[in-house]
Structure 1
Amino acid sequence: MKKIFLFLILILTLSACSTNDYEPIVYENPEIAFDIPDGFPQPNSSIYTNKPTKYGVELGKLLFNDKRFSANNSVSCASCHIQSNAFADTNIQAIGIEGRIGLRNTPPIQNLAFMKFFNWDGSKLNLESQPIFPIVTHEEMDSSILEVIGKIKDDLQYKELFKKAFGDENITAERIYRSIVQYEYTLISANTKYDRVIRNKSETFTESEAKGYEIFQQKCASCHSGELFTDQSFRNIGFPINTNSNEAGRARVTGKPEDFMSFRVPSLRNVEYTAPYGSFGQFATLKEVLDYFDNGVLSADNLDPIFKENDNRIPLTEDEKEYLIAFMKTLSDNEFTGRD
């Protein structure tokens, strides 16, 4: 009888420890403090519905660097968006799977949280809807989000991170996009010599840099304005034209002739590290860009008034070019680019 009694106790104990009473592990996933640098505009409103979190960012960074996003496992987001180049690269035009050449130069992806438009033609207003396009584009990754999910769904590291970031191991397209963008929201560059001179007064410009800053205010700041060094407008500035029949600049998005070959004004932060320049890498150096402005740009019906009203050029002496380049190099953030 005693043995039967002990057996019943054992059965009850085991029942109490059954999976029905299992308490899953709940991970704390705190939001990452998002500080707006002095003078920066308010962030894109999308960030408030997809705030960066500890594990969301960790997951996004892992996804950003995963070459399994491409059809033959050779190209990741980080293959073109290289930290030392302000998350751009050094190619004239982006190079994707099997060496396929894209339509445009790879844009840097710094300070995206503060941008109103994404891509050179502003085709995206919401960053969370952007990651699918490099995945499916023939010249980039030539894959599909279902193929990507199939490759990573049994990866234990991903299972753990999706659970930590979203509460369970379910890997979905939306969670992939949101995580990548959370990581991109943290790529903020605001620690340059310029910032230290203007905001903190902890450094001073050299004579050449100071002269360059003065010239910049006179001849460049109307487009490259504010602390992002872009007014985020779209302009045709008469650069040599990409003859690819798929190219039309902003007009690809709007369908308006007045937007033909207009592109988003690039930020000049870290411009020292983002060569070559232009929508398809028309210029190898900053000096070549300034020489082109000085010599005269291509005429067009929708040429930006800054050029059209000044004989299609921005006149610059050789000394002024040297000073401008010296100033633009003060916009380099070596901590952000990992060049320290």
Structure 2
Amino acid sequence: MKNILSHIALMLLLTGCASDESNLIVYDNPEIELEIPLDFPELNNSIYNNMPTQYGVELGKKLFFDTQLSTDNTISCSSCHIPENAFADHNPKAIGVEGRIGLRNAPPVQNMAFMQFYNWDGNKLQLENQPLVPIITHEEMNSSILEVIGKLESDPSYIELFNKAFKGEGITADGIYNSIAQYEYMLITSNSKYDRVKRNEGETFTESEAQGYTVFQNKCIGCHSTALFTDQSFRNIGFPINPDAEEGGRARITGLVEDYMRFRVPSLRNIEYTAPYGSFGQFETLEDLLDYLDNGVLEADNLDPILKDNNNRIPLTAQEKTDLIAFMKTLSDTDFTGLDN
């Protein structure tokens, strides 16, 4: 009798296990291999803990373009980071819900996987920590992560995507942050005319572009170095000062006087599409910006030595400005912006 009961118990156990296994959902979510362009710098360390995956990127893209992230369902990430503008804005300062105006110009979202600092003042070191900022900021989306999650939970397509992207964990705050970061990691721009010339793919610079490249190497490369066309340093280059009392540049983060009005050097890639220029859109055109540097910048105790040691200016002739702009336009990647479609 005891043996019979033991056999019955074993059969029930095996049957239960088989039943449990039949209910398991296996989520196949392969990693997407990043194509690292030639001569690009090292990846940001945080990407290794959040590698882009098929469904993570799909989810992040869906969220990036979804206005439900804002309190009144009017503003998405893409409202200020517009693809055809190299994921930058066309307003001097970003505009959020109810027409509220932010502190600064919305910077382009490009080559994020290789950046060591994010935002004008470098207040974020990991891209995954960035998405919450616009969601909760009064002048941007003015929402909360709980409010966003509540909206998304009413959409079955989101529930399915979150489960596919994050092993059945459902809709979570970390899932929102990580998926948006994964999508942004994929926004790599490296197919401009400049890149094709450097890769010897049959294109050559015009005479003006070649002359502009020489001017760039002589007068600009000190800040706009590396294949990203930024050395990712923080500098005060004497631009007109933001009248907003909240502005302090890098000093807002470090609390150091010497960092007052220092900002992260922006990349020149796709600069043709990212006007206006400066931390709060001080310059409408590249011509305006170069004229300002030529005429002389604002004096400051912490003015960058490149300017301070040269009478607070970068002298440029009219022809040098024309040629330099011609060269900078070779950094435009129409594959990236979708302008070739």
Shorter-chain TM range is over 0.9
Greater displacement, 158-167 / 307-316: 158-167
Q: Which residue of 2 aligns with 1:188?
A: 188
**Structure 1 CA distance for aligned equivalents of residues 253 and 199 of structure 2:** 38
Q: Which residue of 2 aligns with 1:3?
A: none
Instruction: Report SS of the residue matched to 2:336.
Output: coil
Deviations 1:116-159 (A, max 9, x none): 10000000111111110100000000000000001111211111
Give the structure-2-normalised TM-score. 0.93
Instruction: Report SS of the residue matched to 1:36.
Output: coil
* Contact kept? 1:94, 1:104, Cα under 8 Å: yes
Q: Which residue of 2 aligns with 1:263?
A: 263
Aligned-residue offset at 1:85 = 0.3
Deviations 1:168-204 (A, max 9, x none): 1511101110000000000000000000001234210
Q: Which residue of 2 aligns with 1:136?
A: 136
Aligned-residue offset at 1:19 = 6.5
Aligned-residue offset at 1:20 = 4.8
Deviations 1:29-85 (A, max 9, x none): 110011210010011011100000000000000011110110000001011100000
Q: Which residue of 1 aligns with 2:72?
A: 72
Residue 275 in structure 1 maps to residue 275 in structure 2:
yes
**Structure 2 CA distance for aligned equivalents of residues 184 and 81 of structure 1:** 11
Aligned-residue offset at 1:114 = 0.2
Amino acid at match of 2:322: E
Q: Which residue of 1 aligns with 2:307?
A: 307
* Contact kept? 1:160, 1:169, Cα under 8 Å: no
Instruction: Report SS of the residue matched to 2:337.
Output: coil
Q: Which residue of 2 aligns with 1:145?
A: 145
Amino acid at match of 1:67: T
Amino acid at match of 2:227: E
**Structure 2 CA distance for aligned equivalents of residues 240 and 21 of structure 1:** 65
* Contact kept? 1:41, 1:114, Cα under 8 Å: yes
* Contact kept? 1:36, 1:42, Cα under 8 Å: no
Q: Which residue of 1 aligns with 2:295?
A: 295
Instruction: Report SS of the residue matched to 2:334.
Output: coil
Deviations 1:277-322 (A, max 9, x none): 0000000000000000000000000000011011100000000000
Percent identity between matched residues is: 68
Amino acid at match of 1:91: N
Q: Which residue of 1 aligns with 2:235?
A: 235
Q: Which residue of 2 aligns with 1:165?
A: 165
Aligned-residue offset at 1:25 = 3.2
Q: Which residue of 2 aligns with 1:8?
A: none
Aligned-residue offset at 1:23 = 2.7
**Structure 2 CA distance for aligned equivalents of residues 169 and 177 of structure 1:** 14
* Contact kept? 2:163, 2:171, Cα under 8 Å: no
**Structure 2 CA distance for aligned equivalents of residues 199 and 236 of structure 1:** 34
* Contact kept? 2:191, 2:335, Cα under 8 Å: yes
* Contact kept? 1:223, 1:231, Cα under 8 Å: yes
Instruction: Report SS of the residue matched to 1:310.
Output: coil
Give the structure-1-normalised TM-score. 0.94
Unaligned ranges ≥5, structure 1: 1-11
Residue 41 in structure 1 maps to residue 27 in structure 2:
no
Aligned-residue offset at 1:167 = 1.6
* Contact kept? 1:159, 1:169, Cα under 8 Å: no
* Contact kept? 1:128, 1:177, Cα under 8 Å: yes
**Structure 2 CA distance for aligned equivalents of residues 36 and 275 of structure 1:** 27
Aligned-residue offset at 1:28 = 1.3
Amino acid at match of 1:202: G
Q: Which residue of 2 aligns with 1:118?
A: 118
Q: Which residue of 1 aligns with 2:88?
A: 88
**Structure 1 CA distance for aligned equivalents of residues 177 and 240 of structure 2:** 35
RMSD: 1.5
Q: Which residue of 1 aligns with 2:63?
A: 63
Instruction: Report SS of the residue matched to 2:23.
Output: coil
* Contact kept? 1:60, 1:179, Cα under 8 Å: yes
Instruction: Report SS of the residue matched to 2:199.
Output: helix
Amino acid at match of 1:188: I
Aligned-residue offset at 1:26 = 1.6
* Contact kept? 2:69, 2:143, Cα under 8 Å: yes
Aligned-residue offset at 1:235 = 0.3
